[in-house]
């Protein structure tokens, strides 16, 4: 997902004069695709994450909104700035939550993820309060937002994978101690 959003951000920067229709169609497809992948990822990692339901609900929201926008392009062009702003607002809040969750596991780099979340929230507020600035401004704000969101997703995948490995290592050590009869060891209390 991260690479998809980074690619989308780069594409919007490279072709700023591309029609607004292209952006709406591409956004709709990207949103539906991201939702589908997030649903699959949340199902796949549901045993390793306490908060997999948030990822699932985010994926369902993305898939529903993306599907609606694909089949209603005229409405999409009219309300895209607002939809994009609220979608980025939700994504920014999720990014902040993930970063704080990584902090509780003492995973290095959680501060960067917190910064990504703050950046995503900033872009959502910018788009929300200034939708009529003009097509070019919304295009560049959208490109920056997608780049930051993509970087967050790449960083999240990396850090969550490290956290999963760390948790698995702790669980393996705990099982080894229990097999040796040290199940009451104060190390694990």
Is there a domain that residue 167 lies in? no
Please report whether residue 189 resides in a domain.
no
pLDDT above 70: residue 104: yes
- Tokens at residue 188, please? 């694990």
Give me the percent of the chain exceeding a pLDDT of 90. Answer: 17
The answer to whether position 179 is within a domain reads no
Q: Determine, yes or no, domain membership for 7.
A: yes
Range of the domain at 51: 2-159
Residue 8 placed within a domain: yes
- Residue appearing with tokens 């991201």: 34
Q: Give the pLDDT confidence score for residue 47 in this predicted structure.
A: 81
Taking residue 81's Cβ as centre, other Cβ atoms within 10 Å add up to 20
The model scores a pTM over 0.85: no
Domain presence at residue 18: yes
Terminal-residue alpha carbon distance, the chain: 38
- pLDDT at residue 176 tops 90: no
Task: Answer yes or no: is 131 within a domain.
Answer: yes
Backbone angles phi, psi at 65, to 5 degrees: -65, -45
pLDDT score, position 18: 64
Q: Is residue 187 part of a domain?
A: no
Q: Please write the tens of the pLDDT for every residue from 113-136.
A: 899 899 889 888 888 887 765 445
**pLDDT bucket at 80, cuts 50 / 70 / 90:** confident
> How many Cβ atoms are within 10 Å of 99's Cβ, its own excluded?
24
Q: Which of 58, 26, 27 is nearest to 41 (CA)?
A: 58
pLDDT at residue 186, rounded to an integer? 53
State CA 150 to chain mean position distance.
7
What's the total number of domains in the chain? 1
Average pLDDT over residues 159-177: 82
């Amino acid at each position: 997902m991260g690479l998809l959003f980074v690619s989308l951000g780069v594409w919007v920067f490279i072709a700023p004069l591309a029609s607004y229709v292209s952006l709406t169609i591409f956004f709709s497809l990207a949103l539906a695709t991201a939702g589908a992948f997030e649903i699959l990822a949340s199902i796949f990692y549901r045993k390793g994450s306490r908060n997999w339901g948030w990822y699932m609900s985010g994926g369902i929201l993305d898939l529903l909104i993306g599907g609606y926008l694909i089949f209603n392009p005229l409405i999409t062009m009219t309300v895209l700035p607002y939809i994009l702003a609220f979608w980025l607002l939700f994504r920014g809040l999720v990014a902040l939550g993930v970063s704080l969750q990584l902090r509780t596991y003492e995973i290095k780099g959680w501060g960067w993820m917190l910064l990504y979340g703050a950046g995503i929230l900033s872009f959502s507020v910018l788009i929300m309060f200034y939708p009529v600035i003009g097509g070019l401004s919304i295009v560049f704000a959208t490109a920056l937002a997608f780049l930051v969101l993509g970087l967050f997703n790449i960083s999240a995948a990396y850090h969550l994978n490290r956290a999963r490995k760390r948790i698995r290592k702790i669980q393996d050590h705990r099982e080894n101690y229990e097999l040796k009869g040290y199940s009451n060891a104060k190390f694990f209390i």
